[in-house]
Amino acid sequence: LAAAHQRGMVHRDVKPANLLFDRGGRLRVADFGLVQVLGDTGLTEPDSAVLGTLRYAAPERSRPGRADGRTDVYSLAVSLVEAVTGAVPGPVEDPLELLAFRSTNDLEVPDIFGPAAEPLRRAGSVEVGDRPTALELMRELVRSTEGFEAPGALPLAGSLLNVDALDTVDPQSSRWAGITLPRAAGADPDATQPVGEQTQVGGALFDDPAAGSAAVDAAADTTKRSPGVSARRGLWLLGSAAVLVAMVAAAMYLVSSPETEAVPLFDLGDLRNSDITEVRSLADANGWVLDEKQVRSDGFEKGTVVRQSPEAGSKLPADFGVTVDVVVGPRLTMVPWVVGLEEQAAIERLESRGFGVISREPRFDEQVPAGDVMSATIDGDSVEPGRLLEPGVSFELVVSSGPVPRSVPNLVGLTRDEAAAAVAQVQLNLVEEEEQFSETVPAGVVISQSVSASVELPRGSTVAIRVSKGPDRRAVPDVEGMTIEEATAALEAVGLVRSGVAGGGNIVESSSPGAGTLLKPGESVELWAPR
């Protein structure tokens, strides 16, 4: 898959039916066209929908957009889980319900996978950006399963057949027609049964008992008719034995010669679980050339040797190369996407991957809602999601505090329209309370505001104002012709007071001040009622 992805190709239909073993036991990724050959009964989507079998489809396949290599990685993870557990995780009875389930839930990988479970869980993440590439998944699986015992050979379907029968050749096939073997120069004419000057070669079906026995009998007859061959074979063997004796004698002389010094050999013990500093000291003492290969593992301390070559028990001369795998730290973990999440959700996601949060910095922002994460950094440096880091690394989060607080402007003394414009400029809301009389503030001008000037409020908060109605004045009513009692009641009705009655009569003829005069509430009016 990694090789295909590096060439810009996405399979889009990875599932068990397209994962085939060849006769050598190697796994092959087959094309969609092999589904019918294997008799796949899985539900395949219609042409109008996205390609691929729904049971193994990544969640993003239900949304518009292009698939990339990590879509294949998700499908491979589903296939591997099914291969081990025998079931596809999720509600597989309803394909649409399954896709909806996967759009909000990571792939369930049981703990029976051991250390291989975590790489598969990352491969089955809902978020595409949280998944490894095919190459990264391969490396993670290799690292996580380094302690596994090698499995036995798989009982493949092809192994149940007679393999020899598959490799036979039809004796009558035109492929062999006319192919001859010329007789070697100097060959004994009695060693073979000639057919003219050349011998015709044909095929043979070795799973045919009759053909096999006939071939054996023919070979036996030929041997009986070739006494010359046996004589020459005996002379050849005698010569070979003489040469061998000479070689052994020469070797014994060289070994016993006082001029030959034996090369010193040093025992190579079991270096596994040893600290690399000890191994370096041992290599220096014995003169070995140490090749250290860095690996990552969750089960060993940093600096521990976990693998060696050659194996323990070997005897090695000086200057011999010894290769060891040294743990440089735990396996790297992919940084999840946390920007845009609520603070607590982001912290939980980071902690689920083995990371921590060392600090949080509130920051005002006009766009990001309050409480949402704006960025995740390590020592002030931004960290992109998908990056591989050691577990235990702590992040600094920048969390939005929402918009910058607004300072309330001074509205007293402004007209109604001026106050509305001033509040709108700082993105606050204005409401108007009941107007009020004022002896000092002209009508239409703001007398007071509910929130004092310079107080900071969240964007969108409300400020109330009260507008002046101007001075409070009462007009003297027309009381001419009224009785004194009626005139007095009329004055009190408008907030004025009768100060006195002149003339000695009971019918009012006039008032002072006269009718229509504007007076302040509580001012007095004198009545004139002549006899």
CATH number of the domain where residue 73 is located: 1.10.510.10
Instruction: Give the Cα separation of 81 and 125 in Å (integer).
Output: 14
pLDDT per residue rounded down to tens, the chain (531 residues)? 888 888 778 888 899 888 888 776 778 888 744 333 333 333 344 443 343 478 898 988 776 666 788 999 999 999 999 999 999 988 877 777 788 788 888 999 999 999 999 999 999 999 998 999 999 999 999 998 888 877 776 666 554 444 444 443 343 433 333 333 333 334 444 433 333 333 333 333 233 333 333 333 433 343 343 444 444 444 444 454 454 545 545 544 444 444 445 678 999 999 999 999 999 999 999 999 999 999 998 889 999 999 999 999 999 998 899 999 999 998 888 999 999 999 999 999 999 999 999 999 999 999 999 999 999 999 989 888 888 899 999 999 999 999 999 999 999 999 999 999 999 999 999 999 999 999 899 999 999 999 999 999 999 999 999 999 999 999 999 999 999 999 999 999 999 999 989 988 999 999 999 999 999 999 999 999 998
- Tell me: do 283 and 382 sit in the same domain: no
Asked if residue 165 is part of any domain, the answer here is: no
Instruction: Tell me: do 6 and 135 sit in the same domain.
Output: yes
Indicate whether 388 and 446 sit together in one domain. no
Phi, psi of 169 (to 5 degrees): -125, 135
CA atoms within 13 A on the CB side of 264: 7
Among candidate residues 144, 197, 146, 203, the one with its CA nearest the CA of residue 172: 203
Question: In terms of domains, do 135 and 8 share one?
Answer: yes
Inside any domain, residue 178:
no
Residue 247 lies in a domain: yes
pLDDT for 153: 67
CA distance 104 to 59: 8
pLDDT at position 394 is: 95
Given a contact cutoff of 8 angstroms between Cβ atoms, the answer to whether 370 and 402 are in contact is yes
Domain that holds residue 345: 333-400
Answer yes or no: is 166 within a domain: no
From the list 10, 154, 144, 4, the residue with the least C-alpha distance to 75 is 10
337 three-state secondary structure: coil
CATH no. for residue 363? 3.30.10.20
Looking at the structure, tell me whether residues 358 and 371 fall in a common domain.
yes
Q: Which of 400, 423, 440 is the last residue of a domain?
A: 400
Do 106 and 197 sit in the same domain of this protein?
A: no
* pLDDT score at 157: 58
197 φ, ψ (degrees, to nearest 5): -95, -10
Based on the domain organization, do 424 and 370 belong to the same domain?
no
Q: How many CB atoms lie within 10 A of CB 230?
A: 9
Task: Answer yes or no: do 120 and 223 share one domain.
Answer: no
In sequence order, the β-bridge partners of residue 497 are 524
Q: How many independent structural domains does the chain possess?
A: 6
The dihedrals phi and psi of 168, each to the nearest 5 degrees, come to -80, 165
Q: Which of 239, 261, 283 is the last residue of a domain?
A: 261
pTM for the model: 0.40
| Signed CA dihedral, 192, 196, 198, 199: sign only | negative
* Separation of alpha carbons 313 and 309, rounded Å: 11
Longest dimension (CA), the chain: 185
Q: Judge whether 186 and 193 are in contact, CB under 8 Å.
A: no
How far apart CA 45 and CA 50 sit, in angstroms, is 7
* One domain, residues 7 and 142: yes
How much is the pLDDT for 50? 40
Q: How far apart, in whole angstroms, are the C-alpha atoms of residue 87 and residue 67?
A: 25
- Name the residue among 154, 160, 153, 202 with its Cα closest to residue 177: 202
The beta-carbon contacts of 375-383 under 8 Å, at least 24 apart in sequence, are: 375/339, 376/335, 376/338, 376/339, 376/346, 376/350, 383/335
Same structural domain, 42 and 108 = yes
Residue 7 pLDDT:
79
Could you tell me if 451 and 483 lie in one domain?
no
Q: Which residues pair with 27 in a beta bridge?
A: 21
Same structural domain, 105 and 15: yes
pLDDT at 274: 95
